[in-house]
Amino acid sequence: MATDNSTPVSALSELQQTTDFTRRHIGPDADQTAAMLADLGVGSIEELMTQTVPDSIRLDDALAMEDSVSEADALALLRSLADQNTVNRSYIGMGYHNTQVPNVILRNVFENPGWYTAYTPYQPEISQGRLEALLNYQQVVMDLTGMDLANASLLDEATAAAEAMTLCKRSNRKKTDVYFVADDVHPQTIDVIKTRAAYFGFEIVVGNPVTDLENHDVFGVQLQYPSTYGDITDIKTLIDNAKAQKAMVSVAADPLALVLLKSPGELGADVVLGSSQRFGVPMGFGGPHAAFFAASEKLKRSVPGRIIGVSIDANGNQALRMAMQTREQHIRREKATSNICTAQALLANMASFFCVYHGPDGLKTIAERVHRLTAILANGLKAKGVAVNDTYFDTLTLTLPETAAEVYQRALDAGCNLRQIGADKLGIALDETTTPADVADLFDVVLGTGHGLNVADLDAEIVAGAATGITAEMRRNDAILTHPTFNSYHSETDMLRYMKKLENKDYSLVHGMIPLGSCTMKLNATAEMIPVTWPEFSNIHPFAPADQVTGYHKMLSSLEEQLVEITGYDAVSLQPNSGASGEYAGLLAIRKYQASIGEGDRNICLIPSSAHGTNPASAAMADLKIIVTRCDEKGNVDVADLRAKAEQHKDDLSCLMITYPSTHGVYEEDIVEICEIIHKNGGQVYMDGANMNAQVGISKPGVIGSDVSHLNLHKTFAIPHGGGGPGMGPIGVKSHLAPFLASHKVSPVAGLNPENGAVAATPYGSASILPITWMYNKMLGKSGLKRSTQVAILNANYMAEKLSVHYPVLYRGRNNKVAHECIIDIRPLKEASGVTEEDISKRLMDYGFHAPTMSFPVPGTLMIEPTESESKVELDRFIDAMIQIKAEIEKVQSGEWPADNNPLCRAPHTQADIMVDDWSRPYTREEAVFPSRSARENKFWPTNNRIDNVYGDRNFICSCPSIETYMED
C-alpha cells in the first residue's frame, strides 16, 4: 500500500495518546462541550465556574498532585505496589477464611458491570434480578440460622453485632443498661460494640457467660457460635439462662459451621448475625463482604437495614421490592437507632449465588470436608500430647506453653499465618481450600518433622468411629435450602444462564444513564476495577502480619495523601464502610475532641431541614440532640434562623451537619459565614461529602471552613454501587480532630491510640476496593479531576436549562446556575393533571431510563444528577424523553386521555401488556412501549407492571416464594 502523506503531523506531542483516561472518563467531547456552553450563553467552562461557584470558596491553585497517568501506566504502578504484598496461606480465622470463588460467579457477577454498576433497587420494576438474588440471600440466612426473617445484608459482622445490641435494648422492657458480651466473641466485634455502646449509654460487661452472666442484670447478651477460639459452646444453656432473666440473646455465627450445627434459632436465639464472606467472597484485607442479620418474627419492624419482600404488581403478578422502605432514616430520622443506607448488596448476591451453585449437598460436602480435616488435625495433635479444644467445627486453639513462638515462626517460614493468642496459644482455622497435604504440613509446623503422623491413617480412624469435634447432640437434623432455586443450577451452564437471566432483568449503567441526584452514578472504569481481584489485594487476611502487607500500606498512604489534598483536611481515616458510618465516625471524633478540652457536655447538633436522613440518624447514635434549622424559599439554609439557634445553644452546641453544595443542588453563598457562626458559638462543622463531585479541584471543605467530612467513594470516587453496596465512607478531618479517629484493637492504625475504638470490623474497612479510588485519582490527576467537576456542573446546568422550559427548576444559585444536580418541581403539574412524580419515574422506564431521585429532598420533585460521564447525546435523549412525557401529561390534563387510563399511570409497560388480544386502551401499543425512536432501537423491557408497595408491607413475606407457586407456573 502506498503511504498517505496528505495529512502531515507536526510533532509527536500533538498526537494525543488514545489511552488518555480523562478523555474516556468524561462523556462530552470538545464539540459537545462547546455546544452546551453556547446553549447556556457562556463563553468557556472557566466562565461557567465563575458564574456558578461563589468566589469565597473557589480555589486559585491547581491541586498539588501529579497529572493524569495512562491506564497502562497506572496499572503498572499499582502492580508494583501489589507485588510488595505477600500472599501467605492464612489459618488466622477470626471470621475471615479462604474461599474458592466459583469462577462462573467471579467473572459473571463480581467482574461484570451488569451486576456491579446497578443502584440500590429503588425502582423494582427494573431490578427484579438483584431483588431475587437478595431474596435468595435472605432465604439462605433464614435456613442456616433457623430464624423467621433476615435482611439483605449489613456492613460487617462487628457493626451487625452493634446493631443487634441496640435492637435488644429497644425491644426489651428491662430497665437496665447493661449488655453482656461473651469473652469468646471475636475481639474486633467486642471493640465495635464498645464504641457503639459508649454514646448510647450502655455498660458493656465482657465475661465468661457460663460463670459470670448470672452475676449481672442485663438487657441482652452477645454470644459467638462457634467461639472465636473454635469451641462449640453449649449456647442452649446460655440462652436459657439469659431468658430466665428476660434478657434477649444475639448469636454471632459462622454460616459454614451452621450447615452442620443446630441452628441458633432452634436453640432460642432472638437475633443471629455473622459474615457471609466465606461463601465465595475473597477476604480482601478486610472487605467488602456482606454481614447477615436474622431475627424472630416479633422483631420484624425493628430489623436494621433493607429487607427484600414479596409483593404483587398492578396485574396481580408476584414481584419483589424493598419492604417497609419508609421506616428508619426516612421517617424516624432523629428517632432512628440505625443509620444503615448503603449495605453490601453485591457481596450478598455473590454469597447467595455460591449457595445456589453448590446447593444443600454441595455445602454439606464442603462443611463435612473442612470438619473432617480439622478432626484429623485435632486427633493427630492430641495423640502427640498437644492440648487442643474438644469441640470444634474448623478452628483449633493449641496450648503450647513452651513452643508457641517457635511454632508461629516455623509456620511463617513455611508460608503460613497462624493466629497468636497471648504468649502460649495459637489458633488454626481450616477452610474450604484446605487439603490433606496442608494438614500434613501443619503437623510438621506444629510438631517438627519426624512426628510419624499420617493423614490417611487418621482419617481411617475417624471412619472407624474415632471422635470428631461435633457431638451428636449439637448436629443439626433439619433440612436446609430445600427451595427449588438451590436445587436446580449445579452445572456451570445452568448457573451461567440463571445469573444471566437475573442480570437481564436489571437496569444498570450498561444500559443508559442513572441520573439519581445525590448518588453520582458516574463511570466505573474497567481499569479501576481490574486490580480488585488481583490475589495480592483480594487473598489477604485483614489481620495478616504487617510485613506481608507493605504494598497495601503504601497504596493506602498514597490514597490518604490524595484525599487530604482533594479535601483540604489534615488527616484521613479509611475505616468507615459507608457514608453513614463515616458520619458516625466523624461525629465521634467531634465528641471525643470536645470531651478532651473539657466540653464533653456539648450535645446539640444543628441539621438543616433539607438533610439526608442518615444525618439525623447518625447524630442520634452519637447521643446528640437534633435541632432542625429552616431553609428559605430559595432552598438555602436560613442563616438568620441558624444564627439564632446557634447563639441560643452556644453553651451546648456540639456541631452542625451540613451538605455542600446543598442537597438542593445549590452552592450556598453563605457557607463560609455559616461555618464561622458555628465556630463562634463553640461548635464544629460536619460537612456531608456526598456532593463532593461538585467540589473536587475547584473548592475544598477544609478551605471553606469545615472540620470533618465523609467522602462517599462509591459516589464521587468511582467505586461502583453494586446494586446497593459495597461502598466506602472515609472521613477527612482537621488536625485537631485527627487524634480521635477510629483505631483498631486487633490491628491498630499507625499513629493512633488503639483505645480509640473501632467503627468497623477491620482497620481499613473494605480495603480491597480502595484501589478503585486510587486508580481513579491517578488516572485523572489534578487536571482531569478538576475537569470532571467542571463538566459535571456543565452537564447539570445544561440539563436544568433545557428542562426548565417544560418543568420548573426548583432552586438555583447565583446567576441562575445550579451545582452538579438540579431539582425539577412536579407539584404544579400534579395539581393540574393528577399525574405524579412516580408516574413520570415509571414512564421513564418505557423510554429506556432509570428515574432520577424521587421526592428527596423535597416531596413531589425529581432530582437529576447527570455526572460528567454522560455525553450530550445521552443528556439530549433524556431531555427529549422528559419533553415528550410533558406532552403526554398535557393530554391527560386536557382530558384526551382519562386520568385513570393513560400511558403515565399505567407505566411501566411490559411485553405481556402488549401481547393481549383485546387492546382497549386509549393509547396505542406503540405509544406504550416504543414511545421514542431510541426506545425502539435499544429497548429495555421492565419485567413487571407497577409494584404495589403497600400490599407487600401488609402481607409481609421475606423468604423465597413457596414451592407451590412454582408448581402452579
Ligand X SMILES: *Cc1c(COP(=O)(O)O)cnc(C)c1O
Binding site for ligand X (CB under 6 A): 341-342, 518, 578-580, 612, 614, 659, 663, 688, 690, 712, 727, 729
Among all chains, which residue has been given the C-alpha cell 436560613?
638
What is the number of residues in the chain? 969
- Beta-strand runs (E) in 491-549: none
CA 942/CA 635 separation, integer angstroms: 35
3-state DSSP call for residue 951? helix
Identify the CA nearest to 538 among candidates 766, 712, 346: 766
Report in angstroms how near the CB of residue 339 gets to ligand X at its nearest.
Answer: 7
- Beta-strand runs (E) in 364-459: 395-399, 416-417, 419-421, 425-429
Element (H, E) at 318: strand 318-323
Report in angstroms how near the CB of residue 582 gets to ligand X at its nearest.
Answer: 7
Identify the CA nearest to 718 among candidates 779, 645, 761, 793: 779
Report in angstroms how near the CB of residue 874 gets to ligand X at its nearest.
Answer: 22
Write the DSSP symbol of residue 417. Answer: E
Q: State the angle between helix axes of 872-893 and 837-846 in degrees (0 to 180), rounded to the nearest 10.
A: 120
Residues 716 and 520 sit within 8 Å (Cβ to Cβ): yes
Report in angstroms how near the CB of residue 123 gets to ligand X at its nearest.
Answer: 17
Q: Give me the helices (H) in 805-871, please.
A: 827-833, 837-846
Burial of 91 (0-12, 13-18, 19+ CB in 10 A): buried
Looking at the DSSP assignment, which residues form a beta bridge with residue 291? 154, 275
Query: Toward ligand X, which CB reaches closer, 95 or 579?
Result: 579
CA 927/CA 245 separation, integer angstroms: 65
Query: Toward ligand X, which CB reaches closer, 333 or 906?
Result: 333
Query: Toward ligand X, which CB reaches closer, 235 or 589?
Result: 589
Query: Toward ligand X, which CB reaches closer, 583 or 870?
Result: 583
C-alpha distances out from residue 719 to 242, 306, 537, Å: 43, 21, 16
Neighbours of 266 (CB within 10 A): 15
User: Residue 201 — left, alpha, or beta (φ > 0 → left; ψ -120 to 50 → alpha)?
Assistant: left
Report in angstroms how near the CB of residue 776 gets to ligand X at its nearest.
Answer: 17
Percentages helix, strand, coil for the chain (3-state, rounded to 5) are 45, 15, 45
Query: Toward ligand X, which CB reaches closer, 267 or 690?
Result: 690
Residues 954 and 301 sit within 8 Å (Cβ to Cβ): no
Query: Toward ligand X, which CB reaches closer, 730 or 781?
Result: 730
Query: Toward ligand X, which CB reaches closer, 373 or 692?
Result: 692
Residues 6+ apart with CB under 8 A from 327: 301
Residues 6+ apart with CB under 8 A from 508: 113, 114, 115, 117, 118, 119, 514, 723
Report in angstroms how near the CB of residue 340 gets to ligand X at its nearest.
Answer: 7
Report in angstroms how near the CB of residue 607 gets to ligand X at its nearest.
Answer: 11
Query: Toward ligand X, which CB reaches closer, 517 or 942?
Result: 517
Report in angstroms how near the CB of residue 753 gets to ligand X at its nearest.
Answer: 26
- CB-side neighbour CA atoms (13 Å) of 957: 14
Alpha carbon 103 to chain centroid distance? 23
Query: Toward ligand X, which CB reaches closer, 508 or 578?
Result: 578
The terminus-to-terminus CA distance of the chain in angstroms comes to: 63
Query: Toward ligand X, which CB reaches closer, 397 or 575?
Result: 575
Burial of 791 (0-12, 13-18, 19+ CB in 10 A): buried
CA 216/CA 670 separation, integer angstroms: 53
Report in angstroms how near the CB of residue 691 gets to ligand X at its nearest.
Answer: 7
Using CB atoms, what's the residue nearest to ligand X?
A: 579
Report in angstroms how near the CB of residue 664 gets to ligand X at its nearest.
Answer: 11
Report in angstroms how near the CB of residue 94 gets to ligand X at its nearest.
Answer: 26
Please give, one letter per residue, the 3-state secondary structure of 763-795: CCCCHHHHHHHHHHHHHHHHHHHHHHHHHHHHH
Identify the CA nearest to 238 among candidates 260, 273, 207: 207
CA 286/CA 267 separation, integer angstroms: 31
Report in angstroms how near the CB of residue 606 gets to ligand X at its nearest.
Answer: 16
Query: Toward ligand X, which CB reaches closer, 238 or 708?
Result: 708
Query: Toward ligand X, which CB reaches closer, 306 or 802?
Result: 306
CA 362/CA 355 separation, integer angstroms: 8
Query: Toward ligand X, which CB reaches closer, 155 or 235?
Result: 155
Report in angstroms how near the CB of residue 325 gets to ligand X at its nearest.
Answer: 14
Alpha carbon 328 to chain centroid distance? 17
Query: Toward ligand X, which CB reaches closer, 254 or 688?
Result: 688
Query: Toward ligand X, which CB reaches closer, 725 or 813?
Result: 725
Report in angstroms how near the CB of residue 573 gets to ligand X at its nearest.
Answer: 15
CA 821/CA 815 separation, integer angstroms: 16
Residues 129 and 940 sit within 8 Å (Cβ to Cβ): no
CA 46/CA 697 separation, integer angstroms: 13
Report in angstroms how near the CB of residue 764 gets to ligand X at its nearest.
Answer: 17
Query: Toward ligand X, which CB reaches closer, 522 or 782?
Result: 522
Query: Toward ligand X, which CB reaches closer, 694 or 741?
Result: 694
Identify the CA nearest to 286 among candidates 561, 553, 567, 586: 553
Report in angstroms how near the CB of residue 663 gets to ligand X at its nearest.
Answer: 6
Report in angstroms how near the CB of residue 498 gets to ligand X at its nearest.
Answer: 29
Report in angstroms how near the CB of residue 852 gets to ligand X at its nearest.
Answer: 13
Looking at residue 510, its amino acid is: V
Query: Toward ligand X, which CB reaches closer, 273 or 690?
Result: 690
C-alpha distances out from residue 967 to 416, 482, 653, 960, Å: 50, 14, 62, 14
